Amino acid sequence: MDMQLSYRVFYHKSYSMPLYDLFSDLRCQRHLMILGLLGFAVLYILRVNLSVAIVAMVGTGQKKKDDIIFKESCPANEKDGTKETVFEGEINWDEKACGEALASFFYGYILTNFAGGRLADRLGGKRVFGFGVFLTSVLAFLLPAAARSSKECFNIIRLFQGMTEGVTFPSINSLMSSWVQPSRRSLFMSRIAGGSLLGTVIIFPMGGWLAQTTFGWSSIFYTSGAIGLLWCVAWYHTVADHPNDHPFVTEEEKLLILKEIGNDKSRDEAKSVPWGSIFTSLPFLATIVAHFGSNFGFYFLLTELPTYLSTVHHFNMRNNGLISSLPYLFMWLFSVSYGSFIHYLTSKKIMPIYIARTMSNAIAPNYAGTLTGISNTVASIPGFLAPIITSAIIEGQPTIEQWNKIFMVASFIYFVTGTFNLLFMSSEVQPWNSWEQILEE
């Protein structure tokens, strides 16, 4: 979600090119897009696997408080797959411990967003992005043993996973600046970022199925780690930091890319960042607020939906995973079609350009990388707020009434942040986006 929103936010040309015309003559560039998309899918498989695994880890036994059993939930129905099969989990964690486990990843993730971009500039986007996926995959193999050892040990491993994954999203910018022409970069990134939703769609049903096999919930983490390592092999052998370094790129493709990127890179290296203008820009602040609110709802569903479907609706693990994946399936389908659809409307003059820009939350494309880093950092906070707030409200009472309170909190945050964004957002490119304005400052 991080880049899915932020790249749609900061690249105002996201509607400028139809999908069928993208990369038709650039084989290695197209290969980078496909592996990048799969890379983001792997990252979200590694991030989201706990959300479905934790249901099997802690079980679905009724929670007791002061010898009272709370069973205010939907009636079970064996015919629709909601047979109430109560079982005790292997890991004895209460709601607070589960919330801490789900939040620990994001404590680490928020620490390394800025570092990822700087490391990529020095070491290359290929190394930083690939190494981030590799370390996150290796750490996944340690999680089952860590969970059986102690919740503190488990949370530390998840925190490290957040740190290693945090460098990946900003580091992809380095590869884009070397491989993708500015005119194609926005739609290129929207396709790659869509992999995060694809990974979520994959891990929920796959995790639910794996949890019901003889290998149990541990296999969710082992399988996730193995998928990540397989992707790393393809990444390191078929991707290069620059077209000049790629062993399979043709001279024609190299010239097509470098002809436009050469000038763009020189301009990027010369520019300075107008920090004062950025942090006093109401349209930019409105975008950050909208990103925060969007991510709160997104991460709330991402971390808590499987638990809700299990404790309140009594879905078994397999059906739980399938239903949990549905919001992200439709979100992914929408994100894939959005750019092409907007392009069709504007090219046929059905929709004015300024309305398309408003819908796409355009602001300052020349500072897309910097603005993305700032916005992603702030928008990562709901990753640990959502599970902590959920566990605090539930407090051992997983009833419909308590869960309704959580949905009301999410709705309120959506309303407040959405209203702020509507009041102060702008579809116009900001004046501090221009080089002349920078020189004046």
- Domain residue ranges in the chain: 25-60+88-256+274-432
Q: Which of 137-146, 249-258, 280-289 has the highest mean pLDDT?
A: 137-146
Between 441 and 57, name the one with better pLDDT.
57
Neighbour-count burial of 34, counting CB atoms closer than 10 A to its CB (0-12 exposed, 13-18 middle, 19+ buried): middle
C-alpha 388/C-alpha 97 separation (Å) is: 9
Residue 25 clears pLDDT 60, i.e. is over it? no
Residue 61 clears pLDDT 70, i.e. is over it? no
Q: Stretch 132-154: mean pLDDT, rounded?
A: 96
Residue 10 clears pLDDT 60, i.e. is over it? no
Is 25-60+88-256+274-432 a domain of CATH 1.20.1250.20? yes
46 pLDDT band, cuts 50/70/90, is very high
Residue 21 clears pLDDT 60, i.e. is over it? no
Q: What is the pTM of this model?
A: 0.78
C-alpha 338/C-alpha 359 separation (Å) is: 11
Q: Is 70 helix (H, G, I), strand (E, B) or coil?
A: coil
% residues pLDDT > 90 (the chain): 27
Neighbour-count burial of 81, counting CB atoms closer than 10 A to its CB (0-12 exposed, 13-18 middle, 19+ buried): middle
Residue 127 clears pLDDT 60, i.e. is over it? yes
Degrees to nearest 5, angle at CA 64 with 59 and 68: 145
Between 7 and 422, name the one with better pLDDT.
422
148 pLDDT band, cuts 50/70/90, is very high
Between 405 and 397, name the one with better pLDDT.
405
% residues pLDDT > 70 (the chain): 76
β-partners of residue 88 are: 59
Residue 376 one-letter amino acid: N
146 pLDDT band, cuts 50/70/90, is very high
Between 75 and 393, name the one with better pLDDT.
393
- Integer angstrom CA distances of residue 227 from 169, 224, 346, 361: 19, 5, 40, 35
Whole-number pLDDT of residue 64:
42
